[in-house]
Chains A and B, each alone.
Chain A
């Protein structure tokens, strides 16, 4: 496989569930990102990892918990979400965090919270 992959593509969960989103990049990049895309709102950066170390957390509620076990994999653990968390969650990767490197995106996970 090539590029950035995300699983699952669609997820429906209740507010009391715990689930995880997975992202994998096959580009040999060192930086990975989680973005949130809500209807009628600009894309919002949630987390940034560089070489498995979190370097940015944009005031994201603690019900979202990222994990980066290695430079190729990124997870977003979800628990006790709210209906307003329903959105498209996009993963991206780039060669480095800084330096103006192009970010490549995965297809996204469409999350619906009931």
Chain B
């Protein structure tokens, strides 16, 4: 079946550090890929998405590129801020499916 694997957390960084959160997937078709972010006490917010191979999603300084050859969708940001502290979820959706398949989430803490 379809699945998403995220790097284990928690991740702790200093402000202005470079961030990478790894995400790989297995899917029977050609999925759309998403990163959602969940701030403390809140629901999930869509951060960025990519719908086909080599697409790059970007938002708020975050980027992720859909790599079909490595079945990956790693999240990156060049300089993190304290306000980026949250849980980040990688997810996929097959066109014919009704259900988003989520990774387990990665807790990010950014220290001042």
Which A residues are within 8 Å of any B CB, using their own CB?
6, 31, 42-43, 45, 48, 55-56, 58, 88, 90, 92, 97-100, 102-108, 110
Other than A98-B98, A105-B44, A106-B43, give 10 A-B pairs with Cβ distance below 8 A.
A43-B102, A56-B98, A88-B43, A90-B43, A99-B95, A100-B31, A102-B32, A102-B49, A107-B42, A107-B43
User: In the complex, how many residues of chain B place their beta carbon closer than 8 angstroms to a beta carbon of chain A?
Assistant: 24
Contact A90:B44 (CB < 8 A) given known A100-B32, A102-B34: yes
Most central of B36, B43, B94, B102 by chain A CB within 10 Å: B43
> Which chain B residues border A31 with CB–CB below 8 Å?
98
Alpha-carbon distance between A99 and B29 when the two chains are bound, in angstroms: 12
B95→A42 contact, CB < 8 A: no
A48-B98, A103-B100 are contacts. A108–B46 as well, Cβ < 8 Å? Answer: no
